[in-house]
Chain A
Amino acid sequence: MIFVFALFLLTLLVITAIAIVRTENLFVSVMLTSIFSLLMAANFFILDAADVALTEAAVGAGITTVIFLSALALTAEREKRRAGGQLIALGAVGILAALIIYATFDKPRLGDPEAPVHQHVAPWYLEKTPEYIDIPNVVTAILSSYRGYDTLGEVFVVFTACIGVLFILGVRPPEQTATRSAESGGLRHHLIPQVVGRLLVPFIVLFGLYTQFHGEYGPGGGFQAGAIIATGVILYALLEGEGEALRAVPRSVLLGLVVGGALLYGAVGVVCMLMGGAFLDYSVLSADPVWGQQLGIIIIEAGVGMAVCGALLSIFHAFAARGTQP
């Protein structure tokens, strides 16, 4: 049953992908990528990867679409026709696809308990997590403790992206933002989105907070939570106008969130070192190593959430500010 469902979803994925490539209307293709992400999320869910599914839905279908749209507001809606080169590209992609398919012939069967992936580190994670960290969601344990250093790296990737966008688009002096808020009224004059949206915003933010703090027990965590909360605020910005949203969450707060989040994570690592452990070794944070691990995870997840949320919002505002520039 699941198999048929997955097949169905994958077919839809392929169709969507082809449609994205074929369409010349950029608006349509942005919408299609959003659908693509949603389908992908469903796929991940079928494969029992709830955490990944949640991330894909929040980031791929939610926030990227919004950012694409705000970028689209700056450019033309239709793609320029470009001649030539397509055959070569098609050939290259074809060869690559063939190679990857060839490589997967020898791949272990899906869900095979004998597969190397399930033989080596995974059982250790499953077995030891209750003993060392004692939280139900093993994925969170892996992400934020066993491979916490990678997650720290990812936070800095987001941070770098944020710096990059702010740097290239240029930080505008704050006094100019106030004068513009009148023009960018958002969807204030449309009744239905207004009413529905108003109802939605608090729930989205609430759900984000739930994801943030429930990450140890169910699927979720800082990344997803940050993205969901950012989506909520952006929805608010779309409804009430960007100036209004900036008044609710000013730019300096956003930047503080990004920097603070990233620093918080790093600081936890340094504190662990100062207390005699290795970098990011949360066990030393408290007399009881298990509780120390949990404490560390909660703090760094908060850092991740802050950084992601702040970065996404900063990027959105940078684009939006650009749009109304004369």
Chain B
Amino acid sequence: MLSAPLIILLQPRGLAWAGATAAALASFAIAVALTIAVLDGQTQVYAMGGWPAPYGIELAVDQFSALVLLVVTGAGAGALLAARSSIDQQIEPERQPLFYSAWLLGLAGLAGIVVAADAFNIFVFMEISSLSSYVLIAGGPDRRALPAVFKYLIMGTIGATFYLIGVGLIYMMTGTLNLADMEARLGDVTELNPILVAAGFITIGLALKAAVFPLHVWLPNAYTHSPHMITVFLAACATKVAIYVLIRFDYMVFQSKLDDHATQFAQFLMPLAILGILVASAVAMFEGHLKRLLATSSVAQIAYIILGASFVSESGLAASAMHIFNHALAKGGLFLAVACLAYHYRDLRLDQLGGAAARMPFTSAALVVCGFSLIGIPGTAGFISKWLLITAALESGPLGWILVAVILVSSLMAVVYIWRIVETLYFSDSAKGDIAVAEAPYPMVLVTWLVALLNIGFGLFPTMPLTLANASAALLMGYSG
């Protein structure tokens, strides 16, 4: 039952939008079923080919992977539901089947990473997901996507290679590829230097993939020039899967066995996270292109997640897991609204979008709701994770106050850049005189509003993701204890 999402998603041809959406929805349903199954703390395990774990490949879903799996499949299903008209506009009909099958492969790759319990298996699915995301990003009518994707390709390949080098070194010292088995066997390894180097390689490789500052240079251009719906999908889940692997690998395999690893991990990632938050937010404040603005803010948001993980505490991890979920909601919603805007506006620079709220009232309102969630205004989902993050920062020790200040300052910066968007949409004069209400096609607006409402819903009633996030934090800390 566990492999079902993969099998369904791997059925490659078929195509076109209906097939792809049906497959994505099915996988989302399976993810929901899995989540319910693991809510009571039971880890679901599936041995591929019927071979027991260290010999064959094992899939495992616990609370943490269930949370991320929900995000991935949800983002895939939501974006695909809304995608039809936007994709029709951006991609020629005869190339669409290829495009949708690449999209499904990307979704399958990401989902495969999340459920994998085997280091090499993660690499294989990482290759699938990265290859297909290169294709998807380059797929749009915007030719500037090609250099952007080339940069992404080079950096992504370096990241994957680093990861593989790390896995190779660990295999050399332990003789196993299964994550749980690796952790058990690391206890017997006396020479820890190769493991240390491996940890470094894996961390840097995955940080590249996750666009952790300062390794994020590929991200803004790639997001800006890709087809709008692809931006929705990738922004909501692609980098988060890399962070997921990073956190899982580190806590599950390294934390308990390497002395001082927790401190090294924190000292390496925390400054990067703080710098990332501040620099990226500042850049976003002065950015004039709507998509690039949001993409840059993604770099800052990813840094929040990393910051939470770098506390190496249960509350920090819970904040991270929570922010993975909430940021996907907020940023996914924002990019969906952008896609709706783009349906009528070719040029997404802010100075071209004046007065858009009068023409597209629903879209603009949804954009504002998701923007509030991104800032972290009470009542929206973003508030919950910011609150958790601040609590975790205060618990982390004497330096906590500085971190809280950083979080608050960057939230203010977020207010500034979201306000710039709102100001343009609502209070600027329309660039052209005629004010006719012309919304995007209704499936797009509907999905956008659904996501916007979820932002509020999970802001007021955060029990479900919160339970999962707390459980996954406890689980991860349990490994390192």
Could you list which residues of chain A lie within 8 angstroms of chain B, going by C-beta atoms? 99-100, 102-108, 115-122, 124-125, 128, 145-150, 152-154, 156-157, 159-161, 163-164, 166-168, 170-171, 259, 262-263, 266, 269-270, 273, 277-283
Contacts and interface: CB of A to CB of B under 8 A. Distances in A.
Interface string B370-397: 0000000000000000000000000000
A115 B189 CA distance: 11
19 contacts: A119-B175, A124-B55, A149-B57, A150-B118, A154-B124, A156-B10, A157-B124, A160-B131, A161-B131, A163-B12, A164-B132, A167-B99, A167-B135, A168-B138, A171-B94, A263-B13, A266-B10, A269-B3, A279-B3
A295 B191 CA distance: 43
A266 B171 contact: no
A263 B189 CA distance: 42
Interface in B1-51: 3, 7, 10-13, 46-51
B171 A117 contact: yes
A308 to B, nearest CB: 15
Interface string B46-67: 1111110011110000000000
B46 A278 contact: yes
Contacts of B102: 160, 163-164, 167
Contacts, number: 158
Given A159-B12, A171-B94, A122 B55 contact: no
Nearest to B134: A164
Interface in B160-180: 165, 169, 171-176
A266 B11 contact: yes
Interface residues of B, number: 57
Interface in B290-313: none
A105 to B, nearest CB: 7
A108 B191 CA distance: 10
A170 B135 CA distance: 12
Contact of B128 (A145, A157, A278): A157
Contacts of A259: 12-13
Contact of B125 (A99, A125, A145, A153): A153
Contact of B98 (A128, A167, A278): A167
| Secondary structure dominating the interface of B | helix
Contact of A116 (B56, B120, B185, B193): B185
Contact of A269 (B7, B13, B172, B198): B7
B139 interface: yes
B364 to A, nearest CB: 33
Contacts of A164: 102, 131-132, 134-135
B432 interface: no
Contacts of B48: 148-149, 278-280
B270 interface: no
B55 A121 contact: yes
A270 B1 CA distance: 11
Contacts of A145: 49, 51
A99 B203 CA distance: 14
Interface in B86-107: 94-95, 98-99, 101-102, 105
B121 interface: yes
B49 A281 contact: yes
B124 A150 contact: yes
A170 B49 CA distance: 37
Contacts of A280: 48-50
A83 to B, nearest CB: 19
B218 to A, nearest CB: 17
A105 B128 contact: no
Contacts of A163: 12, 98, 101-102, 105, 132, 135
Contacts of A99: 197, 200-201
A316 to B, nearest CB: 17
Contacts of B76: none
A103 B169 contact: yes
B128 A153 contact: yes
B12 to A, nearest CB: 6
Given A102-B193, A107-B172, A150-B120, 6 more contacts: A145-B51, A150-B124, A160-B135, A167-B135, A277-B50, A283-B50
